[in-house]
Structure 1
């Protein structure tokens, strides 16, 4: 019982660290409230050397991309769960991802050279799309299983001494429109800004490249897990960009089962 309580406490702490990193990300990307953001250093009077800034920023984003992708692969999970309890696997993934994000926010080097600047209704529209992106990303986690995605459900199952529910194939709400609404939300949040700087552009480009590459691995894993059901889902639903004029198709009963979020 003590070990089960420790696993639950570990999951709660991991989720708390994620919450801090997610809330800071809102201010970091949008240049709101936080002491250091994507365009604003702690010391406003000492801008970064551009070459140094590009190298450091790319290294930080690469560290996040490597950890986020490698630890999400089924082969790594099988190896990793020989080292620590299965109930801790997802929480550990979430904790390490969140800590690397906090490191990125701390060590980020702003490059404030302007790329575009807007005002008036255009600025308001871009700001609205930016916040819509964050809303889509967060809401999409609840459309599947938010607590499973962040490791809490696994810890609770361990506390009760029951087997955690395995992933199911489902396509609720936004998942009927695009296959990866969480990633779509992030892309909207990263690109929609009334003032785009060189540093922000670097951040958006690098993360877009990572998302597009990582989704290829994710799709391969989902096909391996769900087989023909996911192949049919892929043929019917676009990956990131919604179809404005969808053709009516015969509904396949297999696709009423559902799919978990990108891992």
Structure 2
């Protein structure tokens, strides 16, 4: 049962990534737009609710399952690792808070829609996808604090999906913003900062 549960965990994270990419793909959205008609305006919000519920379900399964401790780190090491954990969490909170209305799809319930612009300031001066960077920093630092096998497997799958998902998203952004995004790509790294000062 120990091995089976870990295999199930990997499959769940893979399915989450697959469904997340599928439901966000432009070709799938066009299909849903034809089928839903006027109701398509609620698609993004429904998608966000579905993603949140499935994410919570997987996390509950991961946290409650029995797993193997891979190593024991000194207390001072874990205390130091709290810094990147908090840093990653802070980045995630800042980005999600800034883009909550557009990310969640809740803006459909408001009459005035915010204009879609290419953000290049703030954290976007250092990486094109700060939410992905913050997420990876958070989960890997958290794994080093809680070095269980299930957490390692989750980190590996999430990292793989994040990198692949970012590449898919880049294609959509180039289509959406054109030459403006191409020039932005030339100046700023995708996920991992090349240096801590913005490129000029």
Instruction: Select which of 68, 74, 79 maps to 1:119.
Output: 74
Residues 89 and 138 in structure 2, CA contact (< 8 A), matched pair in contact too: yes
Deviation at 1:54, TM superposition (A): 2.3
Residues 86 and 138 in structure 2, CA contact (< 8 A), matched pair in contact too: yes
Structure 1 residues not aligned, in runs of 5+: 1-48, 250-263
Normalised by the size of structure 2, how large is the TM-score? 0.88
How is 1:85-104 mapped onto 2 (pairs within 5 angstroms)?
Answer: 85-104=39-58
SS of residue in 1 equivalent to 2:127: coil
Q: What is the number of equivalent residue pairs in this alignment? A: 195
**Once superposed, what is the RMSD of the aligned Cα atoms?**
2.0
> Structure 1, residues 56-90: CA drift from partner, whole Å, max 9, x if none?
10121122111111111111112212333232021
Residues 87 and 155 in structure 1, CA contact (< 8 A), matched pair in contact too: no
Q: Which residue of 1 aligns with 2:87?
A: 132
Q: Which residue of 1 aligns with 2:188?
A: 237
Q: Which residue of 2 aligns with 1:54?
A: 6
Deviation at 1:183, TM superposition (A): 0.7
Q: Which residue of 2 aligns with 1:182?
A: 131
SS of residue in 1 equivalent to 2:19: helix
Deviation at 1:245, TM superposition (A): 6.4
Partners of 1:95 and 1:239 in 2: CA distance: 27
Residues 53 and 110 in structure 1, CA contact (< 8 A), matched pair in contact too: yes
Select the structure that is richer in helix. 2
Normalised by the size of structure 1, how large is the TM-score? 0.68
How is 1:1-20 mapped onto 2 (pairs within 5 angstroms)?
Answer: none
